Every structure is written in C-alpha cells, then in structure tokens.
Amino acid sequence: MTPFHLAFPVRDLEETRAFYRDALGCAIGRSSETWVDFDLFGHQMSAHLRPGTGTAENDGKVGGKLVPIPHFGVVLQMDDWQTLADRLEARGDVEWLERPMIRFAGEPGEQATLFIRDPSGNALEFKGFRSLDQVFAH
C-alpha cells in the first residue's frame, strides 16, 4: 500500500508539533513558518496554520454511537493499535472523544477503535484489526 497525504488546519504549530511528536509518536518532516509535515504510521500529514480553525461536530452515527465528522486517522494491525491506545491512556493530557473499545464484536469487520482530538480540535480515529483483510468486510 502506498502512503496517503492529508493537509489539515491547526491553530498553533508548536502545540501541534508537540502533540503529534509526543502523544502519537510521529517523526517530524519538513516545515516552514506556516506548515509542518508528520510521518503518521507511514502517511504524510501536513498541518497548516489556520488560527481560526474550528472543531468537528458529533454528527455522524456508526454502530449506534455518534462520531465527529470530519475526522481522520489510521487503520493499524491490532498489536500496533494496542500500543498506541496504551500510550495515549498513560497520558493525562489527551482529549478523549471515545475511549478504546471494540466495535462490531463478533461480526465481519470487528475492530478496535478510539477517538481523540488534537490541540486544534481535529478529530482523529485509530482503528485496529486482527487481520487487515477485515477492513472492508461486510
């Protein structure tokens, strides 16, 4: 699979650098005074300074739960997801939208999921699958 690229708005580059580096473990790539690139599990994420950026609303419904739209994140192997979930739960500064849980238990596409917000209010979802063959199962 090839990496995807996502550009997203942030209100402050320094707090964004700290969050993506320290909380999520992202390597920092190229940057300027108005943007910074991160390696998010092999994908290129570009945070662009937009001081008036807003917060995603909980207006989508998945598996009977409201989720923020828009949101972005990464699909991980279960072991990598659990490592990330443990890392985030050990921190006291994570804004949780949905703590780690299993969605669609016993069904095709069973997955672990968690939702957090970054310091700019961007909603992120991280999913874990025991087999990546289940990502598109229905």
47 pLDDT above the threshold of 80: yes
* Angle CA 46–51–52, to nearest 5: 115
User: How do beta strands 35-40 and 27-31 pair?
Assistant: antiparallel
The model carries a pTM of 0.90
Q: Map out the domains of the chain with their CATH numbers.
A: 5-49 (3.30.720.120), 57-134 (3.10.180.10)
Supply the mean pLDDT for the chain: 93
Does position 92 have pLDDT exceeding 90, yes or no? yes
Distance between CA 47 and CA 70 in Å, rounded?
15
Query: Do the beta carbons of residue 12 and residue 21 sit within 8 Å?
Result: no
Residue of 63 and 21 predicted with greater confidence: 21
Note the pLDDT of residue 56: 67
- Tell me what the mean pLDDT of segment 97-117 comes to: 95
Question: How high is the pLDDT of residue 29?
Answer: 97
- Which pLDDT tens digit goes with each residue over 1-20? 799 999 999 999 999 999 99
Average confidence (pLDDT) over 34-51: 96
Residues 6+ apart with CB under 8 A from 93: 23
The tokens of 132 are what?
A: 């990546």
Classify residue 90 as left (phi > 0), alpha (psi -120 to 50) or beta: alpha
> Do 103 and 83 touch, CB atoms closer than 8 A?
no
In the chain, % of residues over pLDDT 90: 83
